[in-house]
């Protein structure tokens, strides 16, 4: 993925918090770019990268969490995966979000080999051990009904409508789940840099 195009697409959202999946840092396939750093420069956000794996030919791959404010108490949590499955991680942090205050956030990308449902409950528990309010963000590779079954009542899942695939979305695989925050607006946005549509949620303290 072209880092400049990714940065421009993220900047167009004018978001205060961004959760990005499948992010490269120093990878030959991405021409050595630090994609999280380039998005941070374009958006004015503070970024943290969470490594999931290292490529054999060099560079790292994982998730990124960005916030308009400060990120504190950052932890990269490794999900349990099945033999032969791609390593998966989550970034947990305290995000000091302008206009909202401190929020405990988890940004993640869950597995594709049937393990995603097993990864949600321990991640929700780890997030909710931190002070509220809470926000879980990411590509969970699960539908809304299953995420609700696994995350509620700890977190309330936002119903956005389908987000995948980008051209003719049929499934909501991308999710925002919240506690202690009120949803004011939900939008699914097509961007030119992903096979998913972006999920945009405006929130306020509840």
Domains and CATH numbers, the chain: 3-205 (3.60.10.10)
Reported as a single tens digit per residue, the pLDDT across 53-106 is 999 999 999 999 999 999 999 999 999 998 989 999 999 999 998 888 999 999
Confidence tier at 183 by pLDDT (50, 70, 90): very high
pTM recorded for the entire structure = 0.96
Q: What are phi and psi of 35, to 5 degrees?
A: -65, -40
**Residue 49 Cα distances to 14, 23, 116, 124, angstroms:** 20, 8, 21, 20
Please confirm whether the linkage preceding 153 is cis (ω < 30° from 0): yes
pLDDT at 2: 83
**Residue 10 Cα distances to 15, 16, 17, 41, angstroms:** 8, 11, 10, 11
| Length reported for the chain | 206
Quick one: 200 exposed, middle or buried, by C-beta within 10 A (0-12, 13-18, 19+)? middle
- DSSP H or E stretch at residue 35: helix 35-43
Q: 3-class DSSP state for residue 203?
A: strand
pLDDT at 31: 93
């Amino acid at each position: 993925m072209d880092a400049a195009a990714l940065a421009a697409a993220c900047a167009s959202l004018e978001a205060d918090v961004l959760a990005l999946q499948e992010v490269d840092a120093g990878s030959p396939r991405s021409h050595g770019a630090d994609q999280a750093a380039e998005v941070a420069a374009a958006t004015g956000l503070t970024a943290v990268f969470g490594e999931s794996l290292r490529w054999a030919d060099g560079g790292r791959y994982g998730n990124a969490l960005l916030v308009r404010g400060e990120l504190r108490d950052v932890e990269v949590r490794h999900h349990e995966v099945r033999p032969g499955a791609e390593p998966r991680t989550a970034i947990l942090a305290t995000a000091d979000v302008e206009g909202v205050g401190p929020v405990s956030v988890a940004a993640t990308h869950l597995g594709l080999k049937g393990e995603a449902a097993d990864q949600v409950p321990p991640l929700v528990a780890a997030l909710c051990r931190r002070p509220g309010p809470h926000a879980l963000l990411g590509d969970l590779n699960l539908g809304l009904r299953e995420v609700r079954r696994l995350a509620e009542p700890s977190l309330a899942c936002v119903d956005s409508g389908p987000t995948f695939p980008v051209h003719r979305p049929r499934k909501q695989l991308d999710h925002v789940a919240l506690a202690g925050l009120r949803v004011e607006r939900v939008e699914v946005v097509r961007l030119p840099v992903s096979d998913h549509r972006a999920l945009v949620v405006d929130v306020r303290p509840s």
